[in-house]
């Protein structure tokens, strides 16, 4: 039996190389879906969100905050997983076509570089608060908000892990 699955590492791109790949896909008529985030501890909510986003187009792309930007956004205890690990886990998903990274606190520059057809964010955003929405719409693209899967968040998982660790330490 043959498989069309690509190895995870082959789906990880430097931003400039991903822009070249997107040009090839666009030439074939593929619609590019883009989202971004920290994706520090991958969980069910992330997977369901990414699968729903991927269903909106032909090629699913994720830009991941680098370690320094995660720390600026989330605090000194984050990220829990390094950038290369976070990117590899995302690239291993069957719904994923390309994973890259960005250094800034917002994805505006990478959105301008990649020019996605569909920009997707999670349920904690509104069209008015999505960075890059204006740029995507001005190029004829669309912006979609996908509702959160209740009960799943990296911050909640981090708190639970710390709580369990404290209890274990207290019992010792």
49 three-class SS: helix
Cα 146 from Cα 133, distance rounded (Å): 14
Per-residue model confidence as pLDDT tens digits over 13-44: 999 999 999 999 999 999 999 999 999 988 88
152 three-class SS: coil
Is residue 107 within 8 Å of residue 132, measured between CB atoms? yes
What's the Rg (C-alpha) of the chain? 17
Compute the C-alpha angle 41/75/104, nearest 5°: 85
Cα 152 from Cα 136, distance rounded (Å): 28
pTM: 0.87
Q: Look-up: residue for tokens 């904690």?
A: 124
Is residue 36 within 8 Å of residue 102, measured between CB atoms? yes
Kindly give the residue spans of alpha helices, DSSP state H, lying in 115-153: 133-138
Which domains can be identified in the chain, with CATH numbers? 8-171 (3.40.50.620)
For the chain, residues with pLDDT lower than 50 are 1-3
């Amino acid at each position: 039996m043959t498989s069309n699955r690509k190895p995870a590492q082959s789906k990880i791109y430097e931003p400039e190389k991903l822009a070249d790949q997107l040009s090839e896909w666009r030439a074939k008529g593929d619609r590019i879906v883009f989202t971004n985030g920290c994706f520090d501890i991958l969980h069910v909510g992330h997977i369901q969100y990414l699968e729903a986003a991927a269903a909106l187009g032909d090629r699913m792309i994720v830009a991941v905050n680098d370690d320094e930007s995660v720390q600026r956004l989330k605090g000194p205890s984050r990220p829990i997983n390094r950038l290369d690990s976070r990117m590899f886990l995302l690239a291993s998903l069957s719904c994923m076509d390309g994973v890259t990274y960005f250094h800034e606190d917002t994805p505006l520059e990478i959105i301008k570089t990649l020019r996605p057809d569909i920009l997707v964010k999670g349920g904690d955003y509104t069209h008015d608060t999505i960075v890059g929405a204006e740029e995507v719409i001005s190029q004829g693209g669309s912006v979609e908000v996908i509702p959160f899967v209740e009960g799943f968040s990296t911050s909640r998982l981090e708190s639970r892990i710390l709580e369990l660790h404290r209890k274990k330490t207290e019992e010792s």
